[in-house]
Structure 1
Amino acid sequence: MENAQESAQRIYEQVITFATLYGGRIVLAILTLTVGLWLIGWITRLLSTIMTRRHVDRDVQPFLLSLVNGTLRVLLLLSIASTLGVATTSFVAIIGAAGLAVGLALQGSLANFAGGVLILIFKPFRVGDLISAQGFTGHVEAIRIFDTTLVTLDNKTTILPNGPLSTSAITNISTKGVIRVDQVYTVGSQNDIDITAASIRAVVDACPYALKDRDHDVLIARLNANSREYDVRVWTKSDTYWETHYYLLENMARQFGKDGIQAPKPQLYVTNE
């Protein structure tokens, strides 16, 4: 009976000692866990609201929120472990080493990921836009985290990695909705200037894709020994750029033939010395 009482007394004393040594830490850890989880939830909701207001792509929002939420939870666990007196130096070292190894192995993918996030946030182009980038011109079919898909004008699918795409020059042809088609026509200097200009103007005025509320230019750009160069500038919608381009080329050739506008003739000068 006395042995049982002594054992109970020792257990009671150990509990008191443990509570004295670690009770405050445990309470503080529970408080840290409660407040930390509430704070993480508040930060996540705030970030979601900000991304919604900035029209961040809805396909990207869950991924970013999960990434932020997971990172904050790991930091919270490390903080709680430190509060309980657990040495976190080794954990931090392991996490750092693992992060470095993964970063080195996936540095190209991480660069593409970062580029995709920047593109989706700042939106230099949108799905459906006609852009020129990385030596390719086409309509944007899809914008994903790691790459962007273009459909070129000859209906080929081109996949561009987002890393280089986010750091290089991009020409967004669709942004303004209106674009100018610039062409140069060279005719022989034997052709009358007014007749040539009127012939070019007739094609421009008849072009069904040329905007009626814009002024189109027919200008002499250069005078050569046996030829003249005309700059022709026609405004059209971004979606009909190529239709306008090819309409002008074909119908200009027809109109020149109809009006007798001749091409430059080679000249040979012979002198007697």
Structure 2
Amino acid sequence: MIQEPVVQADNLDLNISPDGFSLENITGYALEYGIPLLKAILIYIIGAFIIKKLVKVTSKLMDKRDYDVTLKKFLTSLLKWVLTILLIVTVAGTLGIETASFAAILAAAGLAIGLALQGSLSNFAGGVLILIFKPYKIGDLVEAQGELGVVKEIDILVTKLITPANKLALIPNGPMANGNIINYTAEGKMRVDTTVGIGYGEDMKQAKDALLAMLESNPKVLKDPAPSVNVSELAESSVNLAVRPYCAPEDYWDVYFWTIENTKLVLDREKIEIPYPHAVEIHKEA
């Protein structure tokens, strides 16, 4: 009878798993990868919570300072994306991923985009300045970059004006922010400047009184500041009178055209001559 070999229980390796991995290796892997993964998850959760709170606080501060809605949405979105990218890089570093090359790629991409969009970035910066400092707002009558019109819309890159001819003018915000801007609406009232000439032989006081009464009869002409009619120039063939009523910005063109038309009618009624150039004939003796 063949005797089976006796195997001593003390010689068995109980740490060997069926697939060949030891319990010590599994514990080592858990400590090596599990703890950094857990740290990365915690960092992401806490970071996302902080980003959400920062964006919310920033939005409330912009509301208190009455920031434009377009600028508010853009800045909060920009803040959220920048912080999120930084959070992702931090999480990647916690997992042992090399972040130096990743940061270099981001920097190179940012530089390339900046060079490609140099003009647009200038307009973007101008738009941010306009929306923050508000040299004009929607509905204002402004003159800038050779254009006169009512502000229809202020985008982050361009300002849209409606001209007196009802045309849409698109002006880049870069030149708008760096150039001269005349805001006719800012003070809530505008002066309408017109000039009319009368003959040297006419009654100047009569002309001034008649024109002043004409201006005061128009309900769109403001009482304060009061309209005025003054001598502005002693020209070669006429005494020039500056006719200057004030009005609300939205009434500017109505008052302007009304003043020109009625100035002629009033002077004709008062029989006051408006001189004009005369051709002079020169006769030579034979």
TM-score normalised by L of structure 2: 0.82
Contact kept? 1:207, 1:248, Cα under 8 Å: no
CA drift of 1:26 comes to 4.3
Q: Among residues 197, 211, 231, which one is paired with 2:208 in the alignment?
A: 197
Distance 1:265 1:85 in 2: 89
CA drift of 1:139 comes to 1.3
Q: Among residues 36, 42, 45, which one is paired with 2:56 in the alignment?
A: 45
1:244 maps to which residue? 255
CA drift of 1:116 comes to 2.4
Contact kept? 1:148, 1:160, Cα under 8 Å: yes
Q: Among residues 138, 146, 149, which one is paired with 2:149 in the alignment?
A: 138
Looking at secondary structure, tell me which structure has more helix per residue: 1
2:189 maps to which residue? 178
1:164 maps to which residue? 175
2:75 maps to which residue? 64
User: Over residues 53-110 of structure 1, what are the superposed CA-to-partner deviations in whole Å (9 max), with x where a residue is unaligned?
Assistant: 2233334433432221111111011122223332211001111111111111122222
CA drift of 1:37 comes to 1.7
CA drift of 1:140 comes to 1.5
Q: What SS does structure 2 have at the residue aligned with 1:126?
A: coil
User: Over residues 15-67 of structure 1, what are the superposed CA-to-partner deviations in whole Å (9 max), with x where a residue is unaligned?
Assistant: 44445555664454344323322211111111111122223333443343222
Distance change >3 Å, CA 199–CA 49, structure 1 → 2 = same
TM-align CA RMSD: 2.8
TM-score normalised by L of structure 1: 0.86
Amino acid at match of 1:227: S
2:3 maps to which residue? none
Contact kept? 2:16, 2:23, Cα under 8 Å: no
Distance 2:77 2:253 in 1: 44
Distance change >3 Å, CA 46–CA 203, structure 1 → 2 = same
What fraction of aligned residue pairs are identical, expressed as a percent? Answer: 37
Distance 1:47 1:194 in 2: 63
Distance 1:65 1:129 in 2: 27
Amino acid at match of 2:46: V
Question: Map of 1:69-108 to 2, 5 A cutoff?
Answer: 69-108=80-119
Amino acid at match of 1:262: E
Question: Higher Cα Rg: structure 1 or 2?
Answer: 2
Size of the alignment, in residue pairs?
269
Contact kept? 2:15, 2:22, Cα under 8 Å: no
Question: Which of 52-61 and 235-244 deviates more?
Answer: 52-61
Question: Map of 1:216-227 to 2, 5 A cutoff?
Answer: 216-224=227-235, 226-227=237-238
Amino acid at match of 1:127: I
Amino acid at match of 1:70: W
